[in-house]
Chains A and B, each alone.
Chain A
C-alpha cells in the first residue's frame, strides 16, 4: 500500500538526542503499521537537496530550509505538518534594564548580538525588523554574530545563549532571543531576573515543518501524515520522544507564518549567488 520501501524522513542531527527521538518515532510508526526510516544530515542544505531529489520523501525542516525548498522548487513544496509549538513564535530584542533605549530605531549606532548567521529566530527575523525600522544592520548598527553550528539554522541554542551572555556582560547594547529561550535564560541564570527588559517584540512567526515535494506520491506521504497527526501525548510509549522533540500535539502544516523570514531572505540576499547554484 505504501510501497515496498519505508517512507524516508530526513532530519538534521543538531544533537545526539535526535537519534533517540527518531528511533522512538520509528518504533511507534512500525507499531501502527507504517514503516518509516530516518536519514540524518549534518546540514539543512544537504537535507533540502536530498528532499528535492527524492532521496528522502519528507524532510523535517527548519523554517529557513522550508524557504530554500520553495525557492529551489519554485513553490513546488507542501508543508504537511508541524508541532503545536511551531506556531506563533516571537523573537524579543532585549536590552539591559538600565538601558535608555525606547524603541528599535534607538539601536542606531549601537551593537546588537544575534545568534548564528543562519538562525531564523535569533538573526534573520529580528534583523529584518531592525532593517524595517530604518536601521541598516551592519551599516547603521554593529551586528555581533555568534556562529555556533552554522548549517543547522540555529537549532542548537548555543549561539543565542552566547548572545544573551554578551548582553549580560555588557559587551553589546541588545541581544536577539526567541521568546521561549528568553524564559529559559532567565530560569537557568544566564540572565539574572530584573536585569533585562524587552525593547521590542517581532510579529508572530512559524517555525519548523515537515516538507514534502508536491509531486511526492500520496500513497507514501498520506499514511505517514495520518499516523503522525494521530500521535498522542497520553500514549506512554511515545510521550518521552514527544517531550524530547518539544511538542504536545502535531498539527497540519500551514504557510502563513513564513512571510517575515521570506522578506529577510530577500532583503539580505541570503540565497543569492553561489548558495543556490545554477538554474535557480
Chain B
C-alpha cells in the first residue's frame, strides 16, 4: 500500500500543483480546500 497524504490548503493553484508532485512521487493524495 502506498503512503497516504492529506493536503489541506485553500489556495487552489498550490493545492493542484503540489498534489501532482506528490502523486508523481508515488503517494496517494487527497486534497481538500478547507478543514471542514
Chains A and B belong together in one complex: no
Which B residues contact A (CB, under 8 angstroms)? none
A contact residues vs B (CB 8 Å cutoff): none
